[in-house]
Amino acid sequence: MQDRSGSGLEGAVVLVTGANGGLGTHFVAQALERGASKVYAAARRPRGWEDARIVPLELDVTDHESVRRVAGRATDVTVLVNNAGGLNGSSVLGDLSAVRELFEVNFWGALEVTNAFLPSLERSGGVVLNVLSVLSWIGIGDGYSASKAALWSATNTQRLALAPRGVRVASLHLGYTDTPMAAGVEAPKNDPADVVRAAYDGVEAGEHEVLADQVSRDVKQGLAQPIEVLYPQVRR
């Protein structure tokens, strides 16, 4: 088994889910800038790329057979970026059909993809990067927060279970970022290029958790506060 922990992206084979999105395109491009030998750009509707090192793949993370087919083709992956995600305004209250759909993408999809690529990652001593959110720590995002919180918990379980098998599991937490998903947000936003740069810096440094911006650092630090401090709305 080749140990790539902390060795950077030079020569790596990277697979990025949600590769056509605002963060995904930067994950693809910056992996190549850092020396990756190949990048699988996976998306529901794959696009053309102007670089022979980029291999577009059709992938629906909510479809078991789609995930299985892609894992059977891309058997040389050493770095997996679980970037695919959704936002549909769903709530954990009332009709739960929309939040169930969101969990299929944000939670179950990420787990399905990681499980499918474990043979390749174990052979290479590889890395999984789960793209989470500052909202995985704070519930103001309702259904979205719930789905990302669930993935954060599962990420911690993956870290414990996969470390003895030579696979490092890292998480990326970020606040509002200037991507199509946050187009309706009227607040300061991160540059997606900066977020991906921080993520890959963390991967190369051997980190297990990357806090891409100040809001993520502030919220993480505040988790030890009483609930009434985190959520002043509940005070009476």
pLDDT single digits (tens) 117-127: 999 999 999 99
- Does residue 87 fall inside a structural domain? yes
Residue 114 lies in a domain: yes
Residue 1 is assigned to a structural domain of this protein: no
Model pLDDT, residue 124: 96
CA 129 to chain CA centroid, nearest Å: 6
Q: Which two tokens stand for residue 205?
A: 């440094």
- β-sheet with 79-82: strand ranges across: 54-58, 38-43, 13-17, 79-82, 127-131, 168-173, 209-211
Structure confidence at residue 175 (pLDDT): 87
SS3 73: helix
Q: What percent of the chain has pLDDT over 70?
A: 93
SS3 at position 199 = helix
Name the β-bridge partners of 56.
41
The band of 1, judged by pLDDT with boundaries at 50, 70 and 90, is: very low
Range of the domain at 20: 13-234
Task: Report the alpha-carbon distance of residue 139 to residue 137 in Å, rounded.
Answer: 7
Q: How many domains does the chain have?
A: 1
For residues 224 and 220, give the distance between their C-alpha atoms in angstroms, rounded to a whole number: 8
Q: Give domain status of residue 53, yes or no.
A: yes
> What secondary structure does DSSP assign to 14-30, as a single string?
EEEETTTSTTHHHHHHH
Average pLDDT over residues 130-147: 96
**Any domain includes 2:** no
Whether residue 180 is predicted with pLDDT greater than 70 in this model: the reply is no
8 in any annotated domain? no
Euclidean distance between CA atoms 213 and 197, whole angstroms = 12
Mean pLDDT over 85-113 rounds to 97
Query: What mean pLDDT comes out for the span 43-71?
Result: 97
pLDDT band at 140 (very low <50, low <70, confident <90, very high): very high
Strand partners, 169: 128
Residue 5 placed within a domain:
no
Per-residue model confidence (pLDDT) at position 2: 43
∠213-219-221 over CA atoms, to 5°? Answer: 105
Band (pLDDT 50/70/90 cuts) for residue 189 is: confident
Instruction: Kindly calculate the radius of gyration of the chain based on its CA atoms and give it in whole angstroms.
Output: 17
Q: What is the CATH number of the domain that holds 180?
A: 3.40.50.720
Q: What would the mean pLDDT of 146-167 be, rounded to a whole number?
A: 98
Q: What is the pTM of this model?
A: 0.93
Q: Which of 7, 12, 74, 3 is nearest to 37 (CA)?
A: 12
